[in-house]
Structure 1
Amino acid sequence: MIKVSNETKVGVLTVVAIVLLVLGFNLLKGKSLFSSDKTIYAVYKQVNGLQPSNFVQVNGLKVGSVSDLNILDNNAGRILVTLRITKDVEIPRNSVARITGDLLGTKAVQIDFGNANDYLKSGDTIYAAVDGSITDALKEQLNPLVKKLETTLSAVDSVLLTVNAIFDTTTEGNLRVAVAHLKNTMGNFSATSSSLNRMMDPEKGNVQATFNNLAAISENLKNNNDKITGILTNAEKATGTLANGQLDSSLQDLQHTVANLNQMTSKLNSNDGSLGLLMNDKKVYNNLQTSLGSLNKLLEDLRVNPKRYVHFSLFGKKDKVKPLPSDTVTAQ
């Protein structure tokens, strides 16, 4: 039996340990020593925190990983990123490898397929692009807002300076007086509001009572609608009757009558005619009064002494003449 020395055992264990260490290190970097993976390259101006072992995705599917990042110049203006494709996918030559990130900040390389019929082979270089980060997007959105805010703050500062310059001691006193007046005004407004609330009270308010009265009037009009219709019908009939009854001719006759009456009044006011003389001449009036007085005495004497005017006697005896009552009253 072959005897193995301790030195040989230690050497073998050392080699095995080194191999396992290399394999583990490559596995952690996303490399596989026992598979025929495809390696492609992309050159970026910035990688936004891309690290080895980050995923390479196609339509959200992991097809590989980032194996290495190298600087191509001293200014780090160009960064070479090595992409190891482990899935059996054909990548069109005009595809784009875009560095993206999620909300948690995890970076990945998203390959957007092109439409070329020629495909990339191991060792070829793919077009590179970088999506803006969320911070960049927010910064881009906030920059105009920040500028507007700066302008607004400047305007507010100017206004405050102007207000401080205006509000001297006199102005502050006037402002206090104005505030006191405003307080009184608000008190009056509260009293007015209370009065309006009382007026608008649905049970005892004046407005409600007015509406109730209007409702009662409307109800009465509704109940007497037939009577109102009858009155309007009668009025229409009356106006129709007047229109059909030769109202114009009646008015003309009335005008003639008024003219004749005016003419008669004029004659009465003049000295022409008996009535005019009687009304306007005092002598005629006095003579008429005297004649009427004599006629009254004659009639009274005829009543008192009828035999003076009608004498009839068989024996020829004369009756004694009686005095008139009016003459007796006059003599007394």
Structure 2
Amino acid sequence: MKISNEAKVGILAIAAILVLVLGFNFLKGKKVFGKSPVLYAEFSNLGALQKSNPVKINGLDIGTAYDFRPKDKEVSAVIVEIHLTRDVVIPKDSKAFIEGNPLGISSIVISKGQSNAFLGSGDTLRTVPTGGLLADLREQVAPTMQRINTTLDTLTRAISSVNSIFDPVTNRNLQTMIANLAVSSAGLQRILSDQTGALAQSLNNMNSVTGNLARNNEAITHTIRNVETTTSNLANAHIKEAVAALENTINELKGAAGGLRTTMDKLQSPNGTLGAMMNDRKLYDQLNRVALSLEILLDDVRIHPKRYVNISVFGGKGKTDPLTSPAAKDTIPVKR
């Protein structure tokens, strides 16, 4: 049987319409074949939520927002019809809220509960009031704004305290301090001057010293070598033997000093002869008298020798009295 061209065009048109309807339903989140489970959620404000926006549990898309309708004529709330695209179970105490996203589309997020009973098709989800994206931003920014306000209050009090501290006297002191700082900075600039500053002169002197060292490098090297030679000679010298000999000499001197000290102790002791002579005053007086008598005798012999050596040819009888005290040493005997 031959099919006419008109029949072929009609069949293609019907197929195209069928594909279009199925694709449209698929894009809307409906099941193409079979009926999808339906849940309802009631929100006071949809925000930026649109039809076909996703419905998520733990970040997983489980359905779409299929249709919106007002709860009453005053639109006190909006009922959202949710078509599930996945075969999941949702506890009855689960709660839904609208999550705004500034970089994408809004979505309905279901927070799972702990109940062992599950929602069926046609049941209504509990919802949590939400203020939308601006409310979320306000909630996140509120603590920061509070801290900023506290900081501004503290700064205001600090500025007030500073203003109360900076009285006219303090301001004059600050001005004087700034002037002194200016004078000090000028002095420091003069010190750090490249041409006439003290630091420049010190650096020039240091350059001169280092130049002299560089010019006398050879002499310094010779001096160091002489010092090395001297230290080497000292290291090779018999210092230990010399020190030992010096110690022996010191020990001998100590022994001699000990013997001399013993002799002096014996001389000073009253038990010895010399000690007795040195320490006995009576013996000193007797020796002094003996010396005086001996001096008188010698003077008498010198002055009157004839009294002790009497040689007379003619029998002369001339005599004088003996001396009783020492005669003057410049006395010349008179011849008779």
TM-score between the two structures when normalised by the length of structure 2: 0.50
Q: Name the amino acid aligned to 1:98.
A: F
Which of residues 292, 310, 313 in structure 1 aligns to 2:311? 313
Q: 1:297 to 1:101 in 2, by over 3 A?
A: same
Q: Equivalents in 2 of 1:75, 1:161: separation in Å?
A: 59
Aligned length: 226
Residue in structure 2 matched with residue 180 of structure 1 by the alignment: 179
Q: Equivalents in 2 of 1:109, 1:152: separation in Å?
A: 43
Native 8 Å contact 2:95 2:127 kept in 1: yes
Q: Equivalents in 1 of 2:188, 2:48: separation in Å?
A: 67
* Structure 1 residue 65 displacement after superposition: 0.8
Q: Equivalents in 2 of 1:36, 1:75: separation in Å?
A: 32
Native 8 Å contact 2:48 2:100 kept in 1: no
* Structure 1 residue 312 displacement after superposition: 3.9
Summarize deviations over 1:308-330 as a string: whole Å, max 9, x none. Answer: 1x2443746559999x663638x
User: What root-mean-square deviation, in Å, do the aligned CA atoms of Structure 1 and Structure 2 show?
Assistant: 5.0
Native 8 Å contact 2:29 2:85 kept in 1: no
Native 8 Å contact 1:42 1:127 kept in 2: yes
Which of residues 300, 324, 329 in structure 2 aligns to 1:326? 329
Q: 1:160 to 1:75 in 2, by over 3 A?
A: farther
Native 8 Å contact 2:51 2:66 kept in 1: yes
Q: 1:130 to 1:19 in 2, by over 3 A?
A: farther
Residue in structure 1 matched with residue 143 of structure 2 by the alignment: 141
Residue in structure 2 matched with residue 87 of structure 1 by the alignment: 86
Native 8 Å contact 2:93 2:112 kept in 1: yes
Q: Percent identity?
A: 30
Q: Equivalents in 1 of 2:317, 2:51: separation in Å?
A: 182
Residue in structure 2 matched with residue 44 of structure 1 by the alignment: 43
What SS class does the counterpart of residue 155 from structure 1 fall into? helix
Q: Name the amino acid aligned to 1:181.
A: N
* Structure 1 residue 41 displacement after superposition: 0.8
Q: Name the amino acid aligned to 2:150.
A: K
* Structure 1 residue 177 displacement after superposition: 2.0
Summarize deviations over 1:173-226 as a string: whole Å, max 9, x none. Answer: 5433221224556789999xx9xxxxxxxxxxxxxxxxxxxxxxxxxxxxxxxx
Q: Equivalents in 2 of 1:321, 1:188: separation in Å?
A: 115
* Structure 1 residue 296 displacement after superposition: 4.6
Name whichever of 24-33 and 180-189 sits farther off. 180-189
Q: Name the amino acid aligned to 1:140.
A: A
Native 8 Å contact 2:62 2:86 kept in 1: yes
Summarize deviations over 1:285-311 as a string: whole Å, max 9, x none. Answer: xxx99xx98985553122343331x24
Native 8 Å contact 1:47 1:130 kept in 2: no
Q: Name the amino acid aligned to 1:143.
A: M
Q: Equivalents in 2 of 1:135, 1:179: separation in Å?
A: 49
Q: Name the amino acid aligned to 2:44.
A: K
Q: Equivalents in 1 of 2:309, 2:159: separation in Å?
A: 143
* Structure 1 residue 68 displacement after superposition: 2.2
Q: 1:114 to 1:306 in 2, by over 3 A?
A: same
Q: Name the amino acid aligned to 1:313.
A: I
Residue in structure 1 matched with residue 153 of structure 2 by the alignment: 151
* Structure 1 residue 114 displacement after superposition: 2.7
Residue in structure 2 matched with residue 59 of structure 1 by the alignment: 58
Q: Name the amino acid aligned to 1:50.
A: L
Q: Equivalents in 2 of 1:31, 1:114: separation in Å?
A: 26
Residue in structure 1 matched with residue 167 of structure 2 by the alignment: 166
Q: Name the amino acid aligned to 2:68.
A: L
Summarize deviations over 1:257-299 as a string: whole Å, max 9, x none. Answer: xxxxxxxxxxxxxxxxx99xx9xxxxxxxxx99xx98985553
Q: Equivalents in 2 of 1:304, 1:188: separation in Å?
A: 104
Q: Equivalents in 2 of 1:21, 1:319: separation in Å?
A: 201
Q: 1:105 to 1:178 in 2, by over 3 A?
A: same
Q: Name the amino acid aligned to 1:152.
A: T
Q: Name the amino acid aligned to 1:178.
A: M
Residue in structure 1 matched with residue 116 of structure 2 by the alignment: 117
